[in-house]
Structure 1
Amino acid sequence: MDTVYHLDLNSKKIQGAKIALLPGDPFRSQIIAETISGIYRTGNEKLAWKREFCTYLAEIGGRPLLVTSTGIGGPSASIAIDELAQLGIETFLRVGTTGAIQQFINIGDVIITSGSVRLDGASTHYAPIEYPAVAHHEVINALIEGAKKTNAPYHVGVTASSDTFYPGEERNDSFTKYVLKRFQGSTNEWQRLHVLNYEMESSTVLTLTASMGLRGGCITGVVNRGGTGKITKEALKAGEENVIRVAIAAAECLI
């Protein structure tokens, strides 16, 4: 029984799980697993933690699911998805945080990504840039139902998914304070094209899953407005709590 290299998992460890929740932060894997245990009165088990990839086994309705962190950005997310798919995972749901770029979106709201602007590089190693990064309709429907069930304010739409946190999201609070010409004015352009938010993994998650014939989706909690200001503890708490509650409710629908 082969163990996949980066995740340090094998098919025996995951006990037949077919769904994986994918936070970026490895410490969020434990938070999600413990939240699931608290809601459904079930146990959870840490299966592995290697590099940025921390995996817990949890249970909803008597059926197993994984919570595996991907780290930050497309390259590490692509490794997690590829290796989980090798082990038999069929549904992938990114559970993350985001910066909103539309004024009608508030801190603590959740954004359900229907499709992503592919500002990354990792996804191009799996499908050409003309290939759309789109969420699976069943996952979108489950996320909407999850938001309604938990009374979380939500928005459905397009996300800009960048390889970099600073220049790619047109932030000027970096070391150099400089944004390359190709990104200058990009936020205004995405706003005019009705893009809702910035984050860093959805284009990889959605391109890989769609191109592999698997189910993929992305939900993020709003913790700031893209390109402006710092992320406060209060904003992070609001975004994380809401996105985790909705993602778990959606997983119950999907499982």
Structure 2
Amino acid sequence: MPDKVYHLGMNREDVRAAQAAILPGDPGRVEDIAGTPTFEYSKEVACKREYRSWLGYLEGRPVLVTSTGIGGPSTSIAIEELAMLGIRHFIRVGTTGAIRDHISPGDVIITTGAVRQDGASTHYAPLEYPAVAHHEAVQSLVQAAQELEINYHVGITCSSDTFYPGQERVDSFSGYVPRRFQGATQEWERLNVLNYEMEAATVLTMCSVLGLVGGCVTGVIVNRHQKEHISQDDLVLGENNAVQTAVRAMQILTREKN
């Protein structure tokens, strides 16, 4: 039996030849995702630091659900070590703040590419290298949202290393946004960017560089044009719609690979 990968605390025997992983940020969401009715025979296989992993089966095929923690650095470790264990298909699932008027809480955003306002992805490729989703992942996510009748938007995401200044938030401790980020949200909107989040650029860049299949779907929990405060109802709705879409998409994606 091979040694366990250092951070995730798993080896190849633990993952049961799985080739696919759904990646939430929050370890608290892992059990809920693996416990959706679509999954069968789910169980926890590892929990170390911010990385919690459950293994379940979609139509008889093993699929991991592994948390990445918040942001690019911890996400990059998860992808590296999962790839060492044989994972080749990744779908990030999370929550997001929309920056376009026509996008509502509860909608999902299927990312085709990401603005690389992170740092981790630059350790894998220069900034000139695009952070783009694999076309098969995008197709599977769109098909899943359509089948589930969940309102969806397809387009560009801005991935920021920080939740507050990098996303031009004034609801922080200081209330101050550094000059380099002042007006950034308006500029991204003018460039047809749909939303802010913190991991897509790392996931998509790494998957492209390493020859893996990567995609990202996020549930909208707030529209930044309307307010900064996130209500519990919007949080639950956005999370649930994103999870349903991600699980169904992985079912579609892995079915087509077998």
| In 1, Cα distance between equivalents of 2:29 and 2:224 | 22
Q: Determine whether 1:202 maps to 2:200.
A: yes
**After superposition, where does 1:108-123 map in structure 2 within 5 Å?**
108-123=106-121
* 8 Å Cα contact 1:122-1:204 kept in structure 2: yes
Aligned equivalent of 2:67: 69
Amino acid at match of 2:183: G
| In 1, Cα distance between equivalents of 2:203 and 2:19 | 16
| In 2, Cα distance between equivalents of 1:79 and 1:232 | 31
* 8 Å Cα contact 2:38-2:247 kept in structure 1: no
Aligned equivalent of 2:249: 250
Q: Determine whether 1:217 maps to 2:218.
A: no
1:43 alignment partner, SS class: strand
Aligned equivalent of 2:182: 184
Aligned equivalent of 1:235: 234
| In 2, Cα distance between equivalents of 1:160 and 1:79 | 21
**After superposition, where does 1:46-125 map in structure 2 within 5 Å?**
46-125=44-123
Aligned equivalent of 1:18: 19
* 8 Å Cα contact 1:22-1:69 kept in structure 2: yes
Task: Summarize deviations over 1:151-190 as a string: whole Å, max 9, x none.
Answer: 0000000000000000000000111111110000000000
| In 1, Cα distance between equivalents of 2:160 and 2:202 | 10
| In 2, Cα distance between equivalents of 1:248 and 1:149 | 12
> Segments of 4+ in structure 1 off by > 4 A?
none
Aligned equivalent of 2:140: 142
Amino acid at match of 1:246: T
* 8 Å Cα contact 1:169-1:226 kept in structure 2: no
Aligned equivalent of 2:128: 130
* 8 Å Cα contact 2:38-2:58 kept in structure 1: no
Root mean square deviation of aligned Cα: 0.8
Aligned equivalent of 2:8: 7
Task: Summarize deviations over 1:187-230 as a string: whole Å, max 9, x none.
Answer: 00000000000000000000000010100000000001237422
| In 1, Cα distance between equivalents of 2:238 and 2:83 | 28
Which 5+ residue runs of structure 1 have no aligned equivalent?
A: none
1:99 alignment partner, SS class: strand
* 8 Å Cα contact 2:148-2:245 kept in structure 1: yes
Q: Report deviation, 1:39.
A: 2.9
Task: Summarize deviations over 1:7-44 as a string: whole Å, max 9, x none.
Answer: 00100000000000000000111010001xx235x210
1:88 alignment partner, SS class: coil
2:252 alignment partner, SS class: helix
Q: TM-score, normalised by structure 1?
A: 0.97
Which 5+ residue runs of structure 2 have no aligned equivalent?
A: none
Q: Report deviation, 1:231.
A: 1.4
| In 1, Cα distance between equivalents of 2:119 and 2:190 | 24
Q: 1:45 aligns with which of 43, 46, 51?
A: 43
Count residues in correspondence: 252
Q: Report deviation, 1:240.
A: 0.6
| In 1, Cα distance between equivalents of 2:250 and 2:92 | 11
Identity percentage over the alignment?
Answer: 56
1:152 alignment partner, SS class: coil
